[in-house]
Amino acid sequence: GMPAPPSVVLGERQPTRQLRVGSVGVGSESPVSVQSMTTTVTADVNATLQQIAELTAAGCDIVRVACPSQDDADALPIIATKSPIPVIADIHFQPRYVFAAIEAGCAAVRVNPGNIKKFDDKVAEIARAARDHGTPIRIGVNAGSLDPRLLAKHGKATPQALVESALWEASLFAEHDFHDIKISVKHHDPVVMVEAYRRLSAACDYPLHLGVTEAGPPLQGTVKSAVAFGTLLAEGIGDTIRVSLSAPPVEEVKVGVQILQSLNLRPRKLEIVSCPSCGRAQVDVYKLAEEVTAALDEMEIPLRVAVMGCVVNGPGEAREADIGVAAGNGKGQIFVKGKVVKTVPESRIAEALIDEAMRIAGEAGQD
């Protein structure tokens, strides 16, 4: 059956306006969604759709594609139509690509009206086109591209500078009575970023897109994003997240999904509860945990599997999990739903756990 609902929960979601990004709701009435961005040349339609398919399989809810050229803009209609998940066009400066993306049926557009205003003031027309097509817009403020006026006022990209910039950008649409907006205020420093989002959340009810920008290579970026998003989501702040890594985007999605699952904001599938091993371990815990993870990673049912190296915490954790092993003396006691079903030698522990997992999946209607 389904796992019991968590008995401890996070802070309540801060109420935000509800948007529809294609088929995905973004706002406090909807689950927090995971986004990523393709790294292919958008105009290479096959490569882009292939990457979107990989992101979707990893659990991505919404995908963003860059649109720096007319060729990319020309590819948007087919990508928006064929993508299994909503597509957001990411545009800087060029209003004509914004109109193209809206016409193409993109689920949303990321564009900063401040940039549009500076070069070719089409903000009113963009607001009208977006409203006519029901296309929401994300305003994305980044520390690295902060308005010079605000940089001069605040000396650097402080939380308050990011928030003022975002609210000013939003006001450029609001004055045309357009409010289907979500906002990000990204900074590479999680501490600055967290404070900026707290202030922004207090100052407006637009849905918030969380991101630590330029978060770095996988380990550093994962930790920075997990810490920053975890802090904010635990306070109920954040409606959609994007992990930025200097790594293939499918890795970003995996991290984003894990962050939401860690906070019980997304149902878990496979969860491995494995001990770190220590001087008491009586089996090779790392190897077992890896073998079991590799064999069961694709399972679509929620399943908690405990892999424990000795009898200190082993039986307790193994009993709490759906299935588990508590090792001792080169053998493993195999638990299913709290009961010992058999004892096997170390060489057969992984196999026994995988067999039991497959049997449970089979009973749940998935092989």
Interface residue list for ligand SF4 (CB under 6 A): 275-278, 280-281, 308-310, 312-314
Rounded Cα distance between 255 and 269, Å, is: 14
Rounded Cα distance between 332 and 182, Å, is: 51
> How near is the Cβ of 350 to ligand SF4 at its closest, in Å?
16
Nearer to ligand SF4, 95 or 309 (CB): 309
Asked if residue 60 belongs to a known ligand binding site, the reply is no
Asked if residue 275 belongs to a known ligand binding site, the reply is yes
Asked if residue 278 belongs to a known ligand binding site, the reply is yes
Nearer to ligand SF4, 69 or 313 (CB): 313
Nearer to ligand SF4, 281 or 360 (CB): 281
Question: Helix, strand, or coil here: 21?
Answer: strand
> How near is the Cβ of 326 to ligand SF4 at its closest, in Å?
8
Asked if residue 298 belongs to a known ligand binding site, the reply is no
Q: State the virtual CA torsion across 248, 254, 188, 167 in degrees, nearest 10.
A: 110
By beta-carbon distance, which residue lies closest to ligand SF4? Answer: 309
- DSSP letter for 59, please: T
Residue 23 corresponds to which tokens in the numbers above?
A: 């088929």
Question: Helix, strand, or coil here: 19?
Answer: strand
φ, ψ of residue 118 in degrees (nearest 5): -65, -40
Question: Helix, strand, or coil here: 137?
Answer: strand
> How near is the Cβ of 313 to ligand SF4 at its closest, in Å?
5
Nearer to ligand SF4, 258 or 313 (CB): 313
> How near is the Cβ of 329 to ligand SF4 at its closest, in Å?
13
| CA 305 and chain centroid, separation | 24
Nearer to ligand SF4, 312 or 354 (CB): 312
Q: Which residue has the tokens 């759709």?
A: 49
> How near is the Cβ of 273 to ligand SF4 at its closest, in Å?
10
Tell me how far apart the 2 most distant CA atoms of the chain are, in Å.
75
- Binding site for [4Fe-4S] cluster, by residue number, is 275, 278, 310, 317
- Binding site, by residue number, is 275, 278, 310, 317
